[in-house]
Chain A
Amino acid sequence: MSYMKTTLLGCTMLALSGAAWAQDDTTVIGVSIPAATHGWAGGMNFHAQETIERLEETYPQLDFVLAAASDAGAQVNDIEDMVATRGIDALVVLPFESDPLTPPIQSVAEAGTWVTVVDRGLSVEGVEDLYVAGDNPGFGRVSGEYMVEKMPDGGDIVVLRGIPTTIDNERVDGFESAIEGSGINIIDMEHGNWNRDDSFNVMQDFLQKHDQIDAVWASDDDMAVGVLAAIEAAGREDIQFVLGGAGMKEMVKRVMDGDEMIPADVTYPPSMIATAIEMTAVGMVSNAPVSGTFTIGSVLITPENAEQFYYPDSPF
């Protein structure tokens, strides 16, 4: 019993001294993000690392802890570890999924730690101090509006969807309401799971099933790669263009080069993590207020503005 008490006491003292040390001269910012399991997340990891390196040089009084988790459970562990062993003063988190991450983030916020949530919102409102949001309905809307503009006389299109999630539903809803009444018909819709191989297979089957397809909303640049390969292999000439999304550098390059099959792209920038880390750091070191919601709109990339969105060094 007494041994346990001593251990507990020791731990508490360690934790206290750790927290005290952290508060003394350095401010610790924890960054918790999903691991680089697909292209977009890879880009996000790249921007997170780059931003942290830059900020650590600019602000010597800031210390960063970066953890990439492979699933929601692992992310909860990461956050618990950051609080317990590093005594973080601020947490920047891109939640894997909203529901399972809400309670742990809530308890971090209740302990007085600054919380910045990125991309996906939490299930309970008002937990976070700063919300840097991606605009999924807007992503769908901008894509839909472009389709309408590009096909004024209407036409038949097929749609590839992502992994069945709220994000995907919001995008498709936004897209569908934007093309409503324009004469554009969605003749088929399947999940390509934001994956090149899956979208290749789905597109091959769509090409077998439909003799006339005017355009494809691939809704993601990785899926657009698979779609283009399937169209090329089938030698079909009826498809006028493919609209992807997210802003992968290869696709932005093709827009920049005036490729007719890829006339445009819609951003959903993985660099939004950089915005969030940057704003949190500013809030920690200065008096500038940074609380509230900051929505990063989805922008249409066209040959005219493509150069601004082209990052040749990023892996995505």
Chain B
Amino acid sequence: MTAETTNTRARRSLPSMSVLGPIVALVVLVAIGAMMNSNFLGAANITNVLARSAFIGIIAVGMTFVITAGGLDLSVGSMAAFIAGLMILVMNAALPSMGVGVPIILLGMLVAVVAGILAGLLNGFLITTVGIEAFIVTLGTMGIYRSLVTWLADGGTLSLDFGLRTFYRPVYFEGILGISWPIIVFAIVVIVGELLMSRARFGRHCAAIGSNEAVAHYSNVDVNRTRLLTYAMLGLLVGVATIMYVPRLGSASASTGLLWELEAIAAVIIGGTVLKGGFGRVWGTVIGVLILSLIDNILNLTDLVSPYLNGAIQGVIIILAVILQREAKAKG
């Protein structure tokens, strides 16, 4: 509620820094990138950056809802790796009977989406119905999925059949009017997510639960059902992200999706969503994701700092982006 009132008041005069903060950080990064390298703003580079942001981005949109409702999910990276492995195994197994073609790709996509929803429901069920802390549940499932994919791959790498990979490849690399599919899917997910968060009852319920569970309960919000839905939705989006991920390299291993959960959570927080819940911003998450992948991109395109220090630069920029918002809050 408070957040909404500040927003309306701010809009009349000047947008508050909590809104401007992440945007300013993004604009500064883009300006630095453009100054450093002439190819930075080229279509090819922008496509690369957006397409590779799409995995984390799609997951981070789901994470925004989970965090807004006062939850957390550490299992998404491992879940993505597990779903990718499962998808590859199923598609390879179905290859002799189905042959290379659209049906087998659709089967793979179905497996990913169903596995994602089931994995999300499992997390949600353990958190809401069984009543275990989200941190513990998802820490547990994180380990489970990571080991499962290692076990499925026998410690090595699961690879999609070469012919299938060639057929499936355009899903990552091609698209409509020069805009590749991951970017299109990412954009759709963001638009639907933004509408759900700011215009629909579901988004308001998430924020209500996140700011005060008891009050939400007495206001006739079905707390458990809404929470369960946020985890299921996140699971579904992990499945969608995996559908985009598998055609890129056509393989999954124990190192797939490593630390994606932390990147997704960082993107959500940089974007202005409150880590302890109660307020969420989907468009902010998108900016957070873009900031994170631009830092990597710029560091690769320039020779400014030793590659040993990449992590440090990232850390500094993440903290700066959040400080920018906090300072504004203290003033306004």
Q: Which residues of A contact B (CB under 8 A)?
A: 35-39, 41-43, 45-46, 161, 164, 188-191, 195-197, 200-202, 204-206, 208-209, 222, 225-226, 229, 233-234, 250, 314-316
A-contacting residues, B299-316, CB 8 Å: 300-301, 303, 307-308, 310
| A208–B156 CB distance below 8 A | no
User: Is A226 a contact of B150 with CB atoms below 8 Å?
Assistant: no
Q: How far is the CB of A205 from chain B (nearest CB, A)?
A: 3
Question: A229 near B249 (CB under 8 angstroms)?
Answer: yes
Whether the Cβ atoms of A201 and B251 lie closer than 8 Å is no
Does the CB pair B39–A46 fall under 8 Å? Answer: no
B212 within 8 Å of A (CB atoms): no
Chain A at the B interface: SS class: helix
A43-B156, A205-B297, A208-B39 as given contacts; A225 in contact with B251, CB under 8 Å: yes
A45, A164, A190, A197 — most chain B CB neighbours (10 Å): A197
Q: B residues within 8 A CB of A209?
A: 37, 39, 300-301
Distance between Cα atoms of A188 and B256 in the complex (Å):
25
A315 and B153 within 8 A (CB): yes
Specify which of B255, B300, B301 is in contact with A38 (CB 8 Å cutoff). B255
What is the minimal beta-carbon distance from A249 to any residue of chain B, in angstroms? 9
Q: 4 smallest A-B Cβ distances: which pairs?
A: A36-B155, A315-B156, A42-B155, A205-B300
Q: Is B222 an interface residue (CB 8 A)?
A: no
Per-position contact with A for B158-169: 1 when CB-CB < 8 Å, else 0? 010000000000
B44 CB-CB contact with A under 8 Å? yes
Q: Mark B277-320, 1 if CB is under 8 A from A, else 0.
A: 00000000000000000001100110100011010000000000
User: Whole-angstrom distance between the alpha carbons of A191 and B159 in the complex?
Assistant: 24
Known contacts A189-B307, A208-B48, A209-B301; decide if A316 and B156 are in contact (CB<8 Å): yes
Question: Which A residues touch B310, using CB under 8 A?
Answer: 191
Given contacts A37-B255, A204-B48, whether A190 and B308 have CB atoms under 8 Å apart is no
User: Does B248 count as interface, using CB distance less than 8 angstroms?
Assistant: yes
The answer on a CB contact under 8 Å between B153 and A42 is yes
**Residue in A closest to B302 when the chains form the complex, CB atoms:** A209
